[in-house]
């Protein structure tokens, strides 16, 4: 990641280091229910602490809309972090002002502190210069380790990088390295798998990928819109007929760019989306008018496997069917497991992320077997769309 400053570029001994993390984690009854995002931040926190920094963690949590709300406090997250680190973690009742200063002042080298939710202040999302200055008052250096928030030009994600010496943390560095390897400078052939419900949420993504990938696999309900645009009857399936012209435009762009567009040839249909519903496999030309497409058929799964087998690099975003409701998880599970085997057996670089992707790969039991799985959501999608991310741009050398 030579284009960006990293922890290797900073002398942190004895310095107060403001670290932007993403601790916007699932919570129930005051307890963290999924600590994945906290776990991702641990390497940076531990490295800085070991090098003698005073580590001060900044994060948003939920949508308090610019004012303090107890249900959006980071205090329970600080406790969860302490449990993972196996040591004390200080907590400041505010991220600026006297509470923040008092906490920062009593830290000694190697200590870790969590400051209260940055979104308790309206200046955070506005990237207000005065709020940036107030945050910076308690730091000597700034490290951004929250790629998942890098698509937002907020005070703690972008503003601080312009007023303090700044660098990417290890999680941010890894994310950028893998995404660059997957999309900016991939080993070819590059195959992209895109699923999910709607084209409308992924127009920019699809348009960018057809100009970069050697093959683009379309699954999920969005494939219905492409089929419908070809004049295929999709029965009672979810589709977006008003985007037929957009689907045709994407298909034409793929043809011009030499990107093979892989659409379903057979599908699984049922009369309702419910667990254990009676279903059957039909060709896409024979979808009954009163039934809905809920998964891809075995011939399509075989075609996807053939594309993945030929690939050197794979980018995956979105499930291929209604995976939350068996038996309509088959295409997602089988394709994901095949990709995971190719990673292990053939050195495939497989990078996935965004939306329901992590849940789908966890459901298939292979999230840990892909080369890299991003938990970044919106930022991952905007990167795939080819958009500039303010939080990343600010870290460039």
Residues involved in catalysis:
37, 198, 355, 378
Please state the φ and ψ torsions of residue 266, each to the nearest 5 degrees.
Answer: -140, 155
Give the gyration radius of the chain's Cα atoms: 23
**What backbone torsions phi and psi does residue 207 show, to the nearest 5 degrees?**
-65, -35
SS3 144: strand
Buried/exposed code over 215-237 (b: 16+ C-beta within 10 A; e: otherwise): bbbbbbbbbbbbbbbeebebbbb
The secondary structure of 238-302 as a DSSP string is ---GGGHHHHHHHHHHHHHHTPEEE--SEEEEESS--TT--EEEEEGGG--TT-EEEEE-HHHHH
Residue whose structure tokens are 């709020």: 131
**Which residue is it, tokens 């942190």?**
12
Q: Which two tokens stand for residue 270?
A: 């049922």
Q: Which residues pair with 141 in a beta bridge?
A: 17
CB contact at 8 A, 100 and 138? yes
Measured distance CA(328)–CA(294) in Å, rounded: 6
Task: Count Cα atoms within 13 angstroms, Cβ side, for 141.
Answer: 21
CA atoms within 13 A on the CB side of 295: 28
């Amino acid at each position: 990641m030579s284009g960006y400053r990293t922890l290797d570029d900073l002398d942190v001994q004895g310095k107060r280091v403001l670290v932007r993390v993403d601790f916007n984690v699932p919570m129930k009854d005051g307890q963290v229910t999924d600590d994945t995002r906290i776990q991702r931040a641990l390497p940076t926190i531990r490295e800085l602490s070991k090098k003698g920094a005073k580590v001060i963690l900044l994060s948003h949590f939920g949508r308090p809309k610019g004012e303090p709300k107890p249900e959006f406090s980071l205090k329970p997250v600080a406790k969860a972090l302490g449990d993972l680190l196996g040591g004390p973690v200080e907590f400041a009742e505010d991220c600026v002002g006297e509470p923040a200063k008092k906490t920062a002042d009593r830290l000694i080298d190697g200590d870790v502190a969590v400051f209260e939710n940055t979104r308790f202040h309206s200046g955070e999302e506005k990237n207000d210069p005065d709020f940036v200055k107030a945050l910076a008052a308690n730091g000597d250096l700034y490290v951004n380790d929250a790629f998942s928030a890098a698509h937002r030009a907020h005070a703690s994600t972008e503003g601080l990088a312009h007023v303090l010496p700044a660098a990417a943390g290890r999680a941010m560095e890894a994310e950028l390295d893998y995404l660059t390897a997957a999309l900016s400078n991939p080993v070819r052939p590059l195959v992209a798998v895109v699923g999910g419900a709607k084209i409308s949420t992924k127009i920019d993504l699809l348009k960018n990928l057809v100009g970069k990938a050697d093959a683009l696999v379309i699954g999920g309900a969005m494939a219905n819109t492409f089929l419908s645009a070809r004049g295929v009857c999709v029965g009672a399936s979810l589709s977006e007929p008003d985007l037929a012209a957009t689907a045709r435009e994407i298909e034409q762009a793929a043809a011009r760019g030499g990107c093979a567009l892989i659409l379903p040839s057979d599908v699984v249909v049922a009369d309702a989306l419910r667990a254990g519903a009676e279903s059957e496999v039909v060709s896409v030309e024979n979808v009954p008018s009163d039934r809905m497409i809920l998964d891809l058929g075995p011939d399509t799964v075989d075609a996807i496997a053939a594309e993945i087998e030929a690939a050197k690099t794979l980018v995956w975003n979105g499930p291929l069917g209604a995976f939350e409701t068996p038996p309509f998880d088959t295409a997602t599970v089988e394709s994901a497991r095949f990709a995971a085997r190719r990673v292990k057996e053939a050195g495939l670089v497989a990078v996935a992320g965004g939306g329901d992707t992590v849940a789908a790969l966890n459901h298939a039991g292979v999230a840990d077997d892909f080369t890299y799985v991003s938990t970044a959501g919106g930022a991952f999608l905007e990167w795939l769309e080819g958009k500039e991310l303010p939080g990343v741009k600010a870290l460039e050398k």
